[in-house]
């Protein structure tokens, strides 16, 4: 997974801002509304010490947290599907915002698709 969060498009709504990334453009372009719907309906699991997650999804998320230096991770969303692939979310808590970063799992590579940004 390459550490790159270059923006492709940004749309704002009353539920926060969606920042679509360039490296996920092949997946998101033309599918923005479907992706937003998945994100707004995602089920989140609290991250707490000792909690176990499935090896594939958990390992993927751990790698993303380390590479992107996502701070104060409080939740993950592991059981979403987009284009027949895993679509995982990681919630990072920043000083004035909560950011849900979603990734597509292509098997051996992950791509950032979108960041859902909400003010605290």
- What phi-psi label fits residue 74: left (phi over 0), alpha (psi between -120 and 50 degrees) or beta? alpha
| Coil, helix or strand at residue 88 | strand
For the stretch 98-116, pLDDT in tens is: 999 999 988 878 899 999 9
- What phi-psi label fits residue 84: left (phi over 0), alpha (psi between -120 and 50 degrees) or beta? left
The alpha helices in the chain, defined as continuous H runs, are 25-28, 32-40, 55-68
Helix H or strand E encompassing 1: none
For the stretch 8-34, pLDDT in tens is: 444 444 578 999 999 889 999 999 999
Mean pLDDT to the nearest integer, 61-78: 92
What is residue 110's predicted lDDT score, i.e. its pLDDT? 85
Kindly report the pTM of this predicted structure: 0.84
Q: Could you tell me which residues are beta bridge partners of residue 114?
A: 20, 102
On the question of pLDDT at 92 being above 60, the answer is: yes
CB atoms within 10 A of CB 82: 18
């Amino acid at each position: 997974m390459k550490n790159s969060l270059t923006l492709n498009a940004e749309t704002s709504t009353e539920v926060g801002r969606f920042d679509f990334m360039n490296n996920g453009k092949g997946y998101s372009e033309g599918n923005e509304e479907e992706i937003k719907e998945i994100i707004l309906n995602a089920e989140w699991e609290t991250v707490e010490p000792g909690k176990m997650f499935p090896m594939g999804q958990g390992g993927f998320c751990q790698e993303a947290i380390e590479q992107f230096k996502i701070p104060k991770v409080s939740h993950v969303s592991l059981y979403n599907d987009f284009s027949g692939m895993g679509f995982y979310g990681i919630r990072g808590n920043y000083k004035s915002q909560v950011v849900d970063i979603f990734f597509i799992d292509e098997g051996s590579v992950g791509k950032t698709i979108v960041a859902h940004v909400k003010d605290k």
